[in-house]
Amino acid sequence: MAGVSYYAAAAAGTGRPCVVQFGAAPNRSRRVSRTRLRRRNAGGRFGLDSNSELQVDVKPSSGSMVEIELVATNTGSALALHWGALQPGRRIHSILSFQSGSNSTLKIEIDNPGLESIEFVIVDEAQNKWFKNNGQNFQVHMRPPAGPHHQGQQHSATAGSIGRKNRDVMQLLSKNASTGDQVNEATGTTSAKCTVLDLFIKSLQEKHGSQVLCKKVFKLGEKEILALMSQVQGSTKVHLATDHVEPLILHWALAKKAGEWKAPPPGIVPAGSTLLEMACESPFSDAELNGLHHQVLEIELDEDSYRGMPFVLRSNQTWIKNGTSDFYLDFSRRTAKSSEVTLPFSFSPILAKNLLQKSSQNHMLIFFPCIKGTSDGSKGTAKALLETIADLEEDAQRSLMHRFNIAADLIDQAKDAGQLGLAGLLVWMRFMATRQLIWNKNYNVKPREISQAQDRFTDNLQSLYKMYPQHREMLRMIMYTVGRGGQGDVGQRIRDEILVIQRNNDCMGGMMEEWHQKLHNNTSPDDVVICQALMDYMSSDLDIKVYWDTLNKNGITKERLLSYDHPIHSEPNLKSEQKEGLLRDLTNYMRSLKAVHSGADLESAIGTCTGYTSESQGFMVGVEVNPVKGLPSGFPELLKFVLDHIEDKSVESLVEGLLEARAELRTLLLSSTERLKDLIFLDIALDSTVRTAIERSFENLNNAAPEKIMYFISLVVENLALSTDDNENLLCCLKGWNHALEMSKHSDDQWALYAKAFLDRTRLALATKGEEYHGILQPSAEYLGSLLGIEQWTVNIFTEEIIRSGSAASLSLLLNRLDPVLRNVANLGSWQIISPVDVAGYVVVVDQLLTVQHKSYDKPTILVVKGVKGEEEIPDGVVAVLTPDMPDVLSHVSVRARNSKVLFATCFDPNILSELEQNKGKVLSLKPASVDISYREIPESELLVSSSIDTLDGQKTPSLSLAKKQFLGKYAISAEEFSDEMVGAKSRNIAYLNGKVPSWVSVPTSVALPFGTFETVLSDKINKEVAQKVKILTEKLDQGELGALNEIRNVLLNLTAPTYLVSELKEKMQGSGMPWPGDEGEQRWEQAWTAIKKVWASKWNERAYLSTRKVKLDHSNLSMAVLVQQVVSADYAFVIHTTNPSSGERSEIYAEVVKGLGETLVGAYPGRAMSFVCSKDNLESPKVLGYPSKPIGLFIQKSIIFRSDSNGEDLEGYAGAGLYDSVPMDKEEQVVLDYTTDPLITDCSFRTSTLSSIARAGYDIEQLYGGSPQDIEGVVKDGKIYIVQTRPQM
């Protein structure tokens, strides 16, 4: 091959494969030797299988010569390289072989400028196994390609880029579940190993009936001491127990305020104690439990006004302290009872429900330790912890050493309070980091003491990170606000090295001496900024303006410099001959400052993990940091690549390298690795660098192709997933973006519509995350902020700033940039018109439709609403609802809007929505088109009284009447017995369809509990007590006390089933071929009976009750039958409207489809269903209008469902469908949906066939009803269509 040579003799020109033997690969250093690492042109790294990798390096040599080095690691047998060199219009092929072994190396030299790249595959010939790059040949570019090149998820390994490993995205999955030992969050103990201290607590609780009020465990080297407060029979005691071997003396006091040491009253000191002036000394006693020796001490308190107990220990003549602080048991703490879970006011019902479900499913406790109905702003917080923080803030302001030691002391209390406890710590540390709190006040402290306190605090956080996987996201956020710290000389170097700098560079006076005095007595994160300002000042040829610019941009003003205990009055006044030496030494000094103060500095984090040795002469001599053990193969080289490209203008390769490093690091972060803390800080730094790199790329993306923006979105989604505890939804979004890129690459005409669905899903994930953060953090920020006197504007934007500091903000900006592009390509326009009506009215802006759904507006009103869930009512007087939210076209609120002739539309363009909001209070005329709404301001006089009255009258449904249904003597009936007097239209329509639908359509077998059954059961003597309570509560309800609705529902769950109901229902179900739940045990029948009661109780749902009252229906006349059906374990569920509801076109069928059960479609589950239309003249050609964005699917195995079937659901002029509950006997499983593996999305033929079958079923059922438009619900199972209900389309 011309211009090609090998590091062994190649049989060139022979026509035979070239076989080359390889020696062991050269040893690669794992140590970062300098702050800035030398650039190398790395080709890339590829995973061959689970154990072996291929590293490719491309190194330009002299002239046009390029050297390509391939290193195969951990190969089990000899490998062959089938490769070729590529040049325009031609490929040149050859074969080379690797040896087996730990590392095998092949080097190729190519001196042919016409060759652009090499292409290859690897073959294990012994096992006939071929290794490819995600199904394609590996490709390595030696020189920049001639034309534009788009990189997908698996990238070519080019000079200056990194090759991503071919890993399954789901390998990055984190589902918020503990591994290993189960941790009891209330006690902080593990079930795997029961210590003597665990036995001690158990003994107190079981033998003495003690209630543990608060507790804390302290480390005593390898041993521990437990301090707890208990209460039994009105007596309050403090117990101490330790597994320390040597005899101990407790030197203790009591405190009624923070920091106080007060000798206890003589009457409460234990026997053998010695009272001192300000303390007491009491000896421990020996004890034994289950053969385990320990020491104990008990103190009975005489009053309840003490805030805590400070103490130290003495063993012989050795004093034992809690690090550098006293031990302290805080009496103000109280362990939250699990029955007192109270949700923060800002949680939405859905989010609250999901959080509680997660806590139950994962067998962990989520504490909300707050007092119900508090008026002090503490609701939704760990109140006791925040008040303790506030009490100790004055002491914390003495120095950062005090603050970090106090924080370390509060770790156990925060842990016991669960997520909200850690949220409280985060808020406090964030207030500190943003300079809202005083860092130092009249106290001199050595830098090493600050770094040791930081080290202690972050060590405690590291321990929680290991023990509580569900809290790792919160713990990372806390660590982000705190420097790394460090024992030994890390902190002391800050003090020592500044003297060396001054001496070496002859700058002993002025600003440098003032800074030295500050550093000597109280170093802080400000010093990182000051050091950078000095370096920028010298790099700018001593321009003092640059010095102040750097300080001011980072929040340091002249006033702040003067506020230090050792103030900095002077400006730097250095000489040009000092510049070179000072720049060199300050660059190295910055490493020490960042090692202590910075939690997110990439360079220092890499150096700490990969190791370094100082090479400067006369400065930091002998400083050496060892590398973390067990780093992945090639990881230091990967980090070196990142540092080499950290300032690249084009950030794509840099971000790929950062994400590859995070993915490689993830395995170590999930295990109890030695020096885990250093790896956490490295991961935080990598995360932060991704964000800054992406932000730097925004300008370059201004005119980028949509595929480029999508690729950057995929990178940021991956980064966000790697920082999130429960990331399954984000990973499914990532897979969706990757699939959209593939569709675009292959010119699939659906790519933009598909990508729009994942854009909507990603936005929804961000909104959910923001809501979660707000619910968890904002109450703590507001309460602690009020206690500490934090400025209100800072408190108001607290959660917003937390979100802005992460990848979510960058992702949101990218989504906003891509959205109009996708809408343009997919011809979606700026609006989706759900209910098209020309209207005029006054603009009113509200946050949530839910909050105004029962309000009455006295003039025509256009509501611009930020949030619509799908189950709300349209308020009286409203003529239009405009929202950025995306409820399904067939959701309850959409049906309500169409029935009431209300304009209802989703706006996809935030600029248009913002313009509408700015018209608040004005009168607008709105005219919808197919995908757009035109609007103009009109004078009030143009809003004609007659048209307004007509509009409002058109909404007001005339008063309706219900005929009360009577019990006809049967508790259960079969489908053959369904009639108007026995059941509602839902049951009757199912019975009508049975036997009439085509053979390829099935109707589930059904029985029913007829009208009047509920009333008869309630009046049965066995339910007399329940009936009396319901009567009293109904009277309250009639008087306007809506709180009685929930009470009635709860009371009805106490109903007892009469024996004749049970026997009749069993007979009818078995006679119809349905399984009887009781045959599987009494518990299964109880599940079924509870489901029936929940259906009956749904008559008193708030939405249903208020809806009937709105149309003046007599609620007492509403009767509830229950339709009983066997659940079809659905692959998909659908709703069909046989007349297009948006356009009114009767020749067109409209349908929506979801994966799993239909509750996500008809209920208020976020996201959009798949939607399509189909002409009745061409049922074989459905047209997809939108792909699904719903993140959750519901699935259930063999079960029975009990469906509401009231006499009020299908009244003409009143859409009562969906107001009442249908309840399955078994709980549905919530599954995060991965649409990239769903054939309905990825297989065009399957999609066309399935959607066509759904449309045909709708058309055939409409024909059975004489062409009357139908609203049909059904499911698809194994390709077969099942219809579960039909009713007239409203």
Active site residues: 892
- 178 to each of 421, 466, 721, how far by Cα in Å? 19, 10, 18
Contacts by 637-642, CB closer than 8 A, 24 or more apart: 637/28, 637/42, 637/55, 638/45, 638/162, 638/664, 639/32, 639/606, 639/609, 639/610, 640/32, 640/37, 640/40, 641/40, 641/42, 641/162, 642/602, 642/606, 642/686, 642/689
Task: Give Cα 264 to chain centroid, integer Å.
Answer: 49
Structure tokens at 384: 């006791």
Q: Which residues have CB under 8 Å from 45's CB, separation 6+?
A: 53, 54, 55, 56, 157, 162, 163, 165, 634, 638, 660
Tokens matching residue 1011: 């009208």
Please tell me the number of Cα atoms within 13 Å of 932 on its side-chain side.
Answer: 6
Based on DSSP, count helices (H) and strands (E) in the chain, helices before strands: 37, 46
Q: Which of 170, 1243, 152, 175 is nearest to 732 (CA)?
A: 170
What secondary structure does DSSP assign to 484-502, as a single string?
---TTTHHHHHHHHHHHHH
Q: Calculate helix-pair angle for 472-481, 676-697, nearest 10 degrees.
A: 80
Listing DSSP states for 1102-1156 in one string gives: HHHHHHHHHTT--GGG--EEEEEEEPP--SEEEEEESS-TTT--TTEEEEEEEES
Cα 528 from chain centroid (whole Å): 32
Q: Which amino acid is residue 392, in one-letter code?
A: L
Counting Cβ atoms within 10 Å, is residue 337 exposed (0-12), middle (13-18) or buried (19+)? exposed
Distance CA 630, CA 645 (A): 25
How far is 633 from 666, CA to CA, in rounded Å? 14
Query: What is the spatial distance between Cα 170 and Cα 926, in angstroms, rounded to a whole number?
Result: 47
Q: How far apart are the first and last CA of the chain?
A: 76
Report whether 181 contacts 191 (CB < 8 A).
yes
- DSSP assignment, residue 988? H
Q: Which residues pair with 81 in a beta bridge?
A: 96, 122
Distance CA 335, CA 126 (A): 63
Q: What are the residues whose beta carbons fall under 8 Å from the beta carbon of 1211, sequence distance 6 or more?
A: 960, 962
Q: What is the CA radius of gyration of the chain?
A: 36
Q: Please, which residues have CB within 8 angstroms of residue 656's CB and are 6 or more apart in sequence?
A: 155, 161, 162, 164, 715
> CB–CB of 152/139 below 8 Å?
no
Give the C-alpha distances (Å, rounded to integers) separating 579 from 542, 591, 619. 8, 19, 16
- Please list, in sequence order, all residues whose beta carbon lies within 8 angstroms of the beta carbon of residue 686, skipping any fewer than 6 positions away: 602, 605, 642, 658, 661, 662, 665
d(C-alpha 171, C-alpha 22), whole Å: 33
Neighbours of 1178 (CB within 10 A): 11
Q: Which residue has the tokens 């799993």?
A: 1156
Query: What gap in Å lies between CA 335 and CA 158, rounded to an integer?
Result: 57
- Cα torsion 814, 817, 820, 822: sign: negative
Count Cβ atoms below 10 Å from residue 41 Cβ, excluding itself: 16
Can you read off the two tokens belonging to residue 250?
């407790």
